[in-house]
Structure 1
Amino acid sequence: MHSQSTPKTNEIPLQLAGIFMVALGTTFYIYEFFIRVIPSVISVELMHEFSISASLLGVLSSGFYYAYTFMQIPSGLLCDRYGPKVLLVIGITLCGIATFLFGMTQSSFMIGFSRMACGAASAFAFICPLVLTTHWFPSKYFALVTGVIQTMGCLGAIFGGHPLATLVSEFGWRSTLIYSGYVGVFIGLIIYLFLQNKPDSDEIFIEPNACMSDDHNNTTEWQRLKKIITKRQNWHIALTGFCCWGPIAVFAELWGIQYIHHDLGLSIDLAAVQLLWVWVGIAIMSPIVGWWSDNIQSRKTPILICFSIGLLATLLLILPEKASLWTLDITMFLLGTSAGIQPITFGLIREQNSQTVAGTAIAFNNMAVIFGGVILQPLFGFLLDFFWQGSLLNGVRMYGIFEYQHAMWILPFCCLIGFFNTLWFVDETNCQRIDVS
């Protein structure tokens, strides 16, 4: 009797400790989001200072995503094996160093190298907080907490918009990046001092059918990976994740400020302010959509509705005339709302796979989500060059609204693919774990 009452007695302080631990682990995700969107603010400075085209800038920027994507599966396997703390500390410290090097670089090659280093180190930023969530919270809160983590990440993206543009205007892009590197190393020290991987009484929140003791320790990395990649549902869920984040990776993380600048004739600073509404939409709606999905015990319905909203928003963005700034802000918010799909895809991937491969399954889905940047950012730059009308300024290609509007058609196309993939091929789990083996 005593052993049964102890979890109830300790549940509230344990949940408070869980909130602190997940929030602390999420600081890396906030920082990673900040450095991820930096090129969107300084794209013009980089093209002019290093005399590079939009295509090359897209390739250099997407180096972050190439490395991030490549490291997803290894990061999940390492997280399953060693736990989140050590990976968070190493990851954010390396990110800080790479950001410092970006600020010091004198060549376009080093831009690509530092972005790839940031991407590789950032591979742990989202996976580790999610694994911490599986240790510190009951499974019924997973989609909600995932949405909150997504919201926290948006704080980094928001600060990487207008506030970063202000800092760059005031201090220059190099000094801003150098001091941002120092911040990353400092956060790594805080995580090292205070983060704990799991509660001392870990069994409190472990599901009855998800015991990991002996089987977990005896399962090799290859067996975990094979279990993930041979399951067809995982691939369909991953495609949904790719399609939901692809428009965000293209528009909000790299090309959106320039598009708004050319479309409405706004200054770069003011265009960055308008773009903030995408991140506000993600920040507000991700936990709400996650909570709604948990509450109605459905994963597919919220996903289909969000893809429909994303399709509407991307089509409105392509319209040649915008009625006013406030209609643009609403469109930005709707685009952010559509990304509320992302936490649900992590709920789906978790419910389709056993606890023994939780980290690897989460990493597989996150790899697909981030792959949107790998493919679509350089594709957008290629389309800008393909439709380029021949305008030059000091020998550097200049792109107007004609080029941007033609390249933007990849965004609604992405939403359509995601909608029909989910409708036809993704199985409904009703928020219940299907694979408990």
Structure 2
Amino acid sequence: MTGTRQLHNIGRRRAYAIWATALAVYVLAVFHRTSLGVAGLIAADRFDINGSQLATFTVLQLAVYAAMQIPVGVMLDRFGSKALIVGGLIAMTVGQLWFSVTDSYGLALCARALLGAGDAMLFTSILRLIALWFLVRQAPVITQLTGMVGQMGAVAAAIPLSAALHAWGWTMTYASAAFLGVIAIVAILVVVKDSPYERGAVEKIKIRALRNSLGEIWRDPGTRLGLSVHFTTQFAPTVFALLWGYPFLVAGQGLTPGRASALLTWMTFVALFAGPTIGRWTSRYPYYRSVMALSVVGAISLVWAIVLARPTQSPLWLLIILVSVTGFGGPGSMIAFDLARSFHRSERYGRASGMVNMGGFIASLTTMALVGMILDRLAPGGPDTYTLDDFRVAMSSQFLLWGFGAWMIWRYRRHSLRRAARVPGAFEALRDGSTLLPGISRDRDDD
């Protein structure tokens, strides 16, 4: 930042130590977020609930996550990453511990809502650390690695968690998972520092000016472009992994539960390896980031169209292609935060990232609801009566959001380029491969 003394080197060992510690926290957050995936039947028995009530756990958790993004962005710019990460860990730890001991459905919902609120504080806080502690050319790849390595938490929430539930039981398993948060809090307090600069790029926001500040950030076409990219790329793998993928593969495509679980795990590994590739590409060609996002959306929608157009169940090789291509949506959604970084100074990055992060989760909740409502109408007898034809209609609702999102990306790409062209040197810097633009986002000389 101009006029601010730099105290620590960026992009070096200290930066990687801070990032690795924060990354471990994000892996834990994803583990907590997806920890109900393999425990659905046990939860239904423990709380004496039906399928719709079980799905409410996931929907409520994501709804709280999405609703918290703007408040979290404001607090992030005001208090910094370290405070928000610690606060998020405390909320998740308490929520998971509460979930481990209650046998009341209502109280369990409150616990999952608290877990969702804590989860909401973490990802954008880590992105802010990356933006401040790494070189411009490093940040896109580090961001991709953060999103993808974090998904290892979903892998840990599958087979290992299932084994723990059967060996230790409900309370001990979830209480042990909660205890990991205590260890993470200590690590964050010891290792993480908000900024390498003398002043931590924390903007002291007055309450009366908050509305104007948020309005300015929202009106920036770069914010809307980032939100559009996140909206369009992220929802397909999220909906597939958290709620409807398993029923689609088992009830619709006739796979065994074991094969369906293996495909969901495979999707996570595909995303893990795709992330660095997309990160390097977007770092090298920032002018074409939104084009890359559109290409990802086009590939996902094409494969889904082929699968859903088949009058019979798809062969296993085609389903492997389906989950593999769908897995690219996660890394594709990380492009959104790189776009936000290009169009905002670092002291506003928290609020901008919060707005961007809302996009994918709004789309995910909308899709979950649409698929559920269509299935309820076509198969009023419940999950035991779902057929391939029912899923063919219900999963086709994704095309509504892909089409709308692609239109938004194309629209705000043009608006963002026009804005960059109005600022001397910014458009040229973008074409030359820079992601921090003179007069727009460049507030430190680190590239």
Letter in 1 for 2:85: L
Counterpart of 2:293 in structure 1 is: 303
Counterpart of 1:56 in structure 2 is: 53
* Structure 2 CA distance for partners of 1:338 and 1:245, relative to 1, 3 Å: closer
Task: For residue 142 of structure 2, give the secondary structure of its aligned residue in structure 1.
Answer: helix
Q: Are 1:58 and 1:377, in contact at CA under 8 Å, matched by a contact in 2?
A: no
**Pair 1:227-2:216 in alignment:** yes
| Aligned counterparts of 1:422 and 1:27: Cα–Cα separation in 2 | 32
| Aligned counterparts of 1:177 and 1:221: Cα–Cα separation in 2 | 39
What is the CA-CA distance between 1:370 and the residue it aligns to? 2.2
Q: Are 2:143 and 2:279, in contact at CA under 8 Å, matched by a contact in 1?
A: yes
Q: How does 1:23-102 map to 2 (within 5 A)?
A: 23-102=20-99
Question: What is the aligned counterpart of 1:384 among 371, 375, 386?
Answer: 375
| Aligned counterparts of 2:213 and 2:149: Cα–Cα separation in 1 | 29
| Aligned counterparts of 1:404 and 1:43: Cα–Cα separation in 2 | 20
Counterpart of 1:177 in structure 2 is: 174
What is the CA-CA distance between 1:51 and the residue it aligns to? 4.4
Count of paired positions:
415
- TM-score (normalizing by structure 1): 0.85
Counterpart of 1:107 in structure 2 is: 104
Counterpart of 1:407 in structure 2 is: 394
* Structure 2 CA distance for partners of 1:37 and 1:314, relative to 1, 3 Å: farther
* Structure 2 CA distance for partners of 1:323 and 1:436, relative to 1, 3 Å: closer
- Residues 332-377 of structure 1: per-residue CA shift (max 9 Å, x gap): 1111113322111111122122333111101111122222333332
* Structure 2 CA distance for partners of 1:85 and 1:38, relative to 1, 3 Å: same
Letter in 2 for 1:311: S
Q: Are 2:64 and 2:116, in contact at CA under 8 Å, matched by a contact in 1?
A: yes
Counterpart of 1:352 in structure 2 is: 343
Counterpart of 1:284 in structure 2 is: 273
Q: Are 1:262 and 1:401, in contact at CA under 8 Å, matched by a contact in 2?
A: yes
Q: How does 1:112-261 map to 2 (within 5 A)?
A: 112-199=109-196, 216-217=203-204, 220-261=209-250
Counterpart of 2:445 in structure 1 is: none
* Structure 2 CA distance for partners of 1:224 and 1:22, relative to 1, 3 Å: farther
Q: Are 1:77 and 1:359, in contact at CA under 8 Å, matched by a contact in 2?
A: yes
Letter in 1 for 2:180: V
In structure 2, list runs of 5 or more residues that go unmatched: 421-429, 443-447
Question: What is the aligned counterpart of 1:361 among 347, 352, 363?
Answer: 352
Letter in 2 for 1:252: A
Task: For residue 340 of structure 1, give the secondary structure of its aligned residue in structure 2.
Answer: helix
Superposition RMSD in Å = 2.8
Q: Are 2:148 and 2:331, in contact at CA under 8 Å, matched by a contact in 1?
A: no
| Aligned counterparts of 1:244 and 1:46: Cα–Cα separation in 2 | 31
| Aligned counterparts of 2:369 and 2:47: Cα–Cα separation in 1 | 18
Task: For residue 339 of structure 1, give the secondary structure of its aligned residue in structure 2.
Answer: helix
| Aligned counterparts of 2:289 and 2:162: Cα–Cα separation in 1 | 37
Deviates more, 1:51-60 or 1:381-390: 51-60
| Aligned counterparts of 1:44 and 1:404: Cα–Cα separation in 2 | 21
Counterpart of 1:328 in structure 2 is: 319
What is the CA-CA distance between 1:49 and the residue it aligns to? 4.3
| Aligned counterparts of 2:136 and 2:245: Cα–Cα separation in 1 | 36
Q: Are 2:89 and 2:118, in contact at CA under 8 Å, matched by a contact in 1?
A: yes
Question: What is the aligned counterpart of 2:412 among 421, 425, 431?
Answer: 425
Task: For residue 137 of structure 2, give the secondary structure of its aligned residue in structure 1.
Answer: helix
| Aligned counterparts of 1:131 and 1:388: Cα–Cα separation in 2 | 45
Counterpart of 1:416 in structure 2 is: 403
- TM-score (normalizing by structure 2): 0.84
Q: Are 1:311 and 1:412, in contact at CA under 8 Å, matched by a contact in 2?
A: yes
Letter in 2 for 1:353: H
Letter in 2 for 1:306: V
What is the CA-CA distance between 1:132 and the residue it aligns to? 0.5
* Structure 2 CA distance for partners of 1:101 and 1:384, relative to 1, 3 Å: farther
- Residues 395-436 of structure 1: per-residue CA shift (max 9 Å, x gap): xx6544443333211233333332232223323574343624
* Structure 2 CA distance for partners of 1:315 and 1:177, relative to 1, 3 Å: farther
What is the CA-CA distance between 1:72 and the residue it aligns to? 1.0
Letter in 1 for 2:373: F
Q: Are 2:227 and 2:359, in contact at CA under 8 Å, matched by a contact in 1?
A: yes
Task: For residue 179 of structure 2, give the secondary structure of its aligned residue in structure 1.
Answer: helix
| Aligned counterparts of 2:205 and 2:166: Cα–Cα separation in 1 | 55
* Structure 2 CA distance for partners of 1:391 and 1:30, relative to 1, 3 Å: closer
What is the CA-CA distance between 1:201 and the residue it aligns to? 6.3
* Structure 2 CA distance for partners of 1:82 and 1:11, relative to 1, 3 Å: closer
* Structure 2 CA distance for partners of 1:17 and 1:233, relative to 1, 3 Å: closer
- Structure 1 segments, 4+ long, off by >6 Å, are none
* Structure 2 CA distance for partners of 1:151 and 1:372, relative to 1, 3 Å: same
Counterpart of 2:427 in structure 1 is: none
**Pair 1:339-2:336 in alignment:** no
- Tell me the percent identity: 21
Q: Are 2:250 and 2:260, in contact at CA under 8 Å, matched by a contact in 1?
A: yes
